[in-house]
Structure 1
């Protein structure tokens, strides 16, 4: 399953802030940010539907995140 989110993560520093939490909470998923996209896309490859969990985590750590 591939999940795609629009975020306000627009710098490497912000990715470094989010990365440890994403890796800890979703250890079996592959994810990446596209900082060159106008929507600062976060893509997840995962086995389960974790859409709501990703949005919740990103908001908890201080970022905007919405599913596309």
Structure 2
């Protein structure tokens, strides 16, 4: 398992809901959350090692959202 953390422009519950089915259906994503209270609207994903940062970025961008990897 690894942890992936991103800055996004997902700023509302409605926008989180738009990605819910995408993330919940993906077998390599074990757990995910978006902190819409944080200034960076942090997307945090716990995933298997079969999925990469680039995979997540592509999934989010396809749905019209900004996303950038955050280093921690």
- What TM-score do you get using the length of structure 2 for normalisation? 0.85
List runs of 5+ in structure 1 lacking aligned partners: none
TM-fit CA distance, 1:28:
4.1
User: Residue in 1 aligned with 2:13?
Assistant: 12
User: Residue in 1 aligned with 2:69?
Assistant: 67
How many residues align? The count is 68
In structure 2, what is the Cα distance between the partners aligned to 1:35 and 1:45? Answer: 18
User: Residue in 2 aligned with 1:46?
Assistant: 47
List runs of 5+ in structure 2 lacking aligned partners: none
In structure 1, what is the Cα distance between the partners aligned to 2:41 and 2:52? Answer: 19
Structure showing the higher strand proportion among its residues: 2
Moved over 3 A (4+): none
TM-fit CA distance, 1:26:
4.3
Residue 8 of structure 2 contacts residue 41 of structure 2 at CA under 8 Å; is this kept in 1? yes
- The 3-state SS of whatever aligns with 1:5 is strand
TM-fit CA distance, 1:50:
2.0
C-alpha RMSD of matched pairs (Å): 1.3
TM-fit CA distance, 1:9:
0.2
